[in-house]
Structure 1
Amino acid sequence: MSTCINCVWEEFSLPLKRFIKKRVANEQDAEDIFQEIFLKIHKNIGGLMKENRLHAWIFRIAHNTIKDYYRRNNLKLESTDLGEDLESNTAEETSANTEIASCLKIMVESLPETYKQAILLTEFQSMTQKELSEKLGISLSGAKSRVQRGRKMLKEMLLGCCQLEIDSRGNIIDYKHKSSECKYC
């Protein structure tokens, strides 16, 4: 496996800290849990078979470590002010990518019909741009233009609404709304 522990540290330390702090109110406990998670990652990374599952694997470790913390300390999840039940939330559901995806759905719906259709068919129904051109009865270059313009509009809407922090793989690791008046998120 080509995954190095320093690379994992660089890519995941900030997102993990945010993940933990959303679920553990005590700052010192959150830091202890963070260290415990990285010890587990360091000890077990050699056993990870599918490197493309690294993100899910790391956040599953974090999820389970936080649950163990609550059990060890005889704390009830309901009595915390975390606003979330760890039992019903997986790490994937709480990632910034998932949160931004819900905003993008609203943004796609607000696109002009020609661009909305192009984005829905190519991005969500895995249709190639050639298939799109055939389905709509337009030229291939016309189909490509619609997809590119639709993507550009979505990017402008997203960047107009949110400030994004992106990791080296292009994943959104954190975001902040620029304004409380954003109509998409």
Structure 2
Amino acid sequence: MHDEEYMQQLSLGIDTAFDALVFRYHKPLFGYIYRLLQDEKLAEDVVQETFLKIYQQGQKGFVPDQFKPWMYKIATNTCKDYWRKPASRLEYVTDQDIEKAGQVHHIIDHQLERQWMVESLNQLSLDYRTVLYLRFYQDFKYSEIALALDLSINTVKTRIARGLKQLENILVTDERKGASGNE
């Protein structure tokens, strides 16, 4: 069944349709949000808040034309709301343990190169990071990214190109630092 059909059922009061959406999207949505926020507990809270908003919209009878980009738009905006809250930002962002916790959390990811890439991506601005995560980690098409972030396709293409260029510069710089440190 298509996601939009589940939303249609939810709008008719069939709550099991919502369960199917949560089952289908919890893991990829968590991965996307975690990559943006680098905090496991906060990412889980944002996932729950995102699904709550989806449920509430479904109960009101709203059925999006394309569910997946709409859902990621809600998730992205919820992350942006977090960044706008000064108290939350101080609690999480100024904590120097975030970097260590992020490294420890990825015990599953024993691949140092992957961690290096994630750390490099996290040096990018939120605008560039978001489009790159949606494109390369969530496998979104440009049109889906545009819908999810409420941007034009040209803006999406520009942000991806600029983000990749900045990422390349970061990786080259890090590689040079590593090479000079080993001599």
TM-score range, shorter chain: 0.3 to 0.5
Task: Determine which structure has greater relative contact order: mean sequence separation of CA pairs < 8 Å that are 6+ residues apart, divided by chain length.
Answer: 2
Higher strand share: 1
TM-score between the two structures when normalised by the length of structure 1: 0.43
Q: Which structure has the bigger radius of gyration? A: 1
TM-score between the two structures when normalised by the length of structure 2: 0.44
Higher helix share: 2
